[in-house]
Structure 1
Amino acid sequence: MNTIPALRNRFSLLALGALLGSFLLLPGCGKKQDGPKQMPPALPAMKVELSSASVTTDYSVRLEGLADAEIRPQVDGMLQAILVKEGDLVKKGQPLFKIDDSVYREQYNTALAAQRAAEAQAAVAKVNAEKLVPLVENKVVAPVQLTTAKAQEQAARALAAQAAASARSAAINLDYTVIKAPVAGYIGRIPYRQGNLLTKNQAAALTTLSDVNRMYAVFSISEAGFADFKKLYPGATLQQKIDAVPPVKLTLSDGTVYQHDGKLESISGDFDASTGSIRLRVSFPNPEGFLRSGNSGTVSLSSNYNHVILVPQSATVELQDKVMVTLLKPGNKVMKQVISVAGRSGPNYIVSEGLKPGDVIVTAGIERLQDGMVIKPLSAAAPGAPAPAAQTPNAR
């Protein structure tokens, strides 16, 4: 009775051993398989060197004419005639508008008549005084009569002078009824029409007259920007620094570059207390008349740096307020390095701190790199230089 279970157990152990032996005989079983070895990524790298760079800073500007004169009436009256059209080029002294002068002409005629009457009375008073001179000398009349006559002559002359002043004032008002161009230039918008009532205290101007033979591009910089300006350009005085600024380019609102270069002419004498900025003015010639007052655009001020390190902007990453490059260390290991940027020169950053000549940086594919990773460096051209051979640290 006990023999049968023992035989069953023995047969079960034999079957299990055969099954295990069949697995061990399978190819590769029980032997560790090594996968293909992962190669480090091949990325371009470059050695940084000292070089020169030109930096361009752009500022938004508003254009003003050499003279932007608001044309306003100086007497009240009805606008009788508009003698020019919007956009006309006019000469200095050319009539622009005509105000109804009937009232002022009559005032002038009245004042002129009063002047002539007063002058006649002065002449009569003079004759009366002169007539008494021999009579007083011959003691025919008392001297007091001559004194009185001379006083009356002086009063008559004063009245005549007063009447003449009134006549001149009336003549000025009459002349104001023809509004003339104070300077040569282009006529701006004319919001009034014939028949409108004009007053000398009205809020809106009749038009604006712009002398655009020379245009000014006006912009502002901050107090910190002004400090940088003084450091950037050579010169012992502010005027010498202004003179050292290279010719200025103007880009119009449609993206076209104006054909004539400008010149930085002046910097305001004080800062605007409300904005903390100071005003600069660049002068541009305008012989073709293409520029007009009120145009907007961008001026580009350039400056030159010598013996600086340039790195491509594409070789940097920005994290919050920091700019970083990927530095290649011995053993071709990478490390993030924070740099200080002094400015931009085309597609490159000008580095003031964080790198030194001879350092090697990775120029592409840096987004996926972590500190300590190993790469295979490839050659890359330094900014502004022909492509050099790959410069990498010696591997250990």
Structure 2
Amino acid sequence: MTSNSDSNKKTPDEIPSAATTETNNAKDTSADLENSAADAEPAYIPYSAETAKSKPNWLWVLPLLLVTLLIGLFAGRMWGEKQPEDNELTTERSVTPQMGTATGVTEVEKEVSQKPVLTVETVTPTQSSVTKDLTADGTISPETTSTVSGKVNGVAIDRVLVREGDQVKKGQVLAIFDTDAMQQQLIQAKAELAEAESSYELAKRDADRVLPLLEINAISQQEADRYVATANQASASVAASRARLNNQNLNMQNAKVTAPVSGVISEKSANVGSVPGPEPLFTIIEEGKLEWQAQVDPNKVGEINVGTPVEVSLPNNKSVMGKVSRISPTAEDGSRQITIYASLARNPNARAGMYQRGTFKLGSDAKSTIPVSAVVTQDGYDYVMQVKAVKNENRETIYRVSRVKVKLGERQGDRVVLLEPIPGEANIVRQGGSFLSDGDVVTIADTNTPAKAE
């Protein structure tokens, strides 16, 4: 009995393990399935317990993995949204490599350890007296003009003594007509007058001689009246001849064209040899005075009054000052604009006919301004670089810049109006902001230092 028992016993090496048995069974099953698949038509593997054991089913794991992945992504998103912004930047941020990177090493970025990228000066907005202006476009025109025409007809111009732009005085000779024909007419008029006066003297003596004879009835009344009528006709002829002579003298005077007022010759149509018609020979700007005629929106006319100062721009970066002299009571047809007239000071650079831009000086207001150099323009918007003091991980104060969008108004020299206040502490970089990025650490180089972070 003992021998049989011992003979039936097997050593551990001879006893096959369960895993080995299962593996062998799986191999046998796979071989059978392959043989069956080769013989069967169509290929079909009947389900059996042995088949289920021989082929592990991992499909039930996929939904579980998918659900786990979605839960992880959602939890990570919610965690990221709940994290507050750390203004003092005192924590370390782990940067996980994206899929596809060559290494799996985690990169750690310490923002608090950033070194200053630039040394800057800071300024704060200040209240400045800002001039309140209203700009408009208009034409420079003569304030008052006088036209000069010839007073003789049918006579050619002999000499022209002035040109456009010349300064003239009242009574100054501007042009002279040809007087040769006038001289002959004057001589003839004088001769006719002398003849008429002689005839009159003779007729008068005859009448004076016969009138006493009428008293003694030596002649008839009819004959005496004839002598008196002859004398009267001779007197009338003298008056007519004298009038013609005066007219010729006047023509001689009018042969000289003179300036009726003092001013500047703005137009000239007189030319030597021409026989002028009724059109003016010269146009004179009285006293050389010019005015600026501007078209202004009716909604803004209420801000302008007679006497409001005006500055009109001129070529070569020059300008001329003036004052509003009158305001048109009606709007222009078509444009519906109101014409404002401003008298200008005399300036050699101002010319009639110029179309120039002018500015109505409406007073001044106190407004917040910043240096133009502090403005950084990017993508069509204006920004300033605001400097704030924060604590690093060692509780040390550092200065960090943030880009702040601003709304600007008119420019006043090297400063510009700030239409809306800058939120928070208004310490901004004076210049060089274009070299900085949002979040950069800087060093302050002046005494206008932002308050230290607590």
CA drift at 1:68:
4.2
Question: RMSD over aligned Cα, in angstroms?
Answer: 4.8
Give how far 1:271 is off: 6.0
- What's 1:61 paired with? 139
Question: Larger deviation: 101-110 or 145-154?
Answer: 145-154
Q: Work out which structure has the larger RCO, using CA pairs closer than 8 Å and 6 or more positions apart in sequence.
A: 1
Residues 1:217 and 2:279 aligned together: no
Q: 1:21 to 1:176 in 2, by over 3 A?
A: closer
Q: Does 1:284 align with 2:344?
A: yes
Residues 297, 306 of structure 1: alpha-carbon distance in 2 compared, 3 angstrom cutoff: closer
Q: How does 1:1-396 map to 2 (within 5 A)?
A: 4=29, 6-13=49-56, 32-34=75-77, 36-37=80-81, 54-72=132-150, 74-188=152-266, 190=268, 193-194=271-272, 196-201=273-278, 205-220=280-295, 224=298, 229=301, 231-232=302-303, 242=306, 245-252=307-314, 255-258=317-320, 261-268=321-328, 279-286=339-346, 289-303=348-362, 346=410, 377-378=423-424
Q: In the superposition, relative to structure 1, how do residues 62 and 27 fare at CA in structure 2: closer, same or farther (>3 Å)?
A: closer
The structure-2 alpha-carbon separation of the partners of 1:53 and 1:279, relative to structure 1 and needing over 3 Å to count, comes to closer
Q: Distance in 1 between matches of 2:206 and 2:368?
A: 99
> What is the one-letter code of the residue matched to 2:290?
M
1:34-64: CA deviation from partner (whole Å, max 9, x where unpaired): 3643889x9xxxxxxxx99834242412321
Whichever residue aligns with residue 310 of structure 2, its letter is V
Q: Please list the CA deviations of residues 67-121 of structure 1 after superposition, one character each: whole Å capped at 9, or x if unmatched.
A: 3435557433333323234433222222222332222222222222222222322
CA 1:274 to 1:161, structure 2 compared with 1: closer, same or farther past 3 Å? farther
TM-score where L is the length of structure 2: 0.51
Amino acid at match of 1:141: I
CA distance in 2 between partners of 1:187 and 1:219 (Å): 24
Q: CA deviation at 1:346?
A: 4.0
Change (3 A) 1:162 1:269: farther
The aligned amino acid for 2:312 is L
* Bigger Cα Rg: 2
In the TM superposition, residue 216 of structure 1 has moved relative to its aligned partner by: 2.4
> Aligned partners of 1:143, 1:7: CA distance in 2, in Å?
182
After TM superposition, give the deviation of residue 127 of structure 1 in Å.
Answer: 2.5
1:8 to partner: Cα distance: 3.6
Runs of 5+ consecutive residues of structure 2 not aligned to the other structure: 1-24, 30-47, 88-128, 370-374, 376-408, 413-418, 428-454
What secondary structure sits across from 1:216 in the alignment? strand
Distance 1:293 1:170 in 2: 39
- Residues 89 and 36 (structure 1 numbering): CA distance in 2 closer, same or farther, change over 3 Å? same
In structure 1, what is the equivalent of residue 402 of structure 2? none
- Percent of aligned pairs sharing the same letter: 19
The answer to whether the Cα contact below 8 Å between 1:75 and 1:173 also exists between their aligned partners in 2 is: no
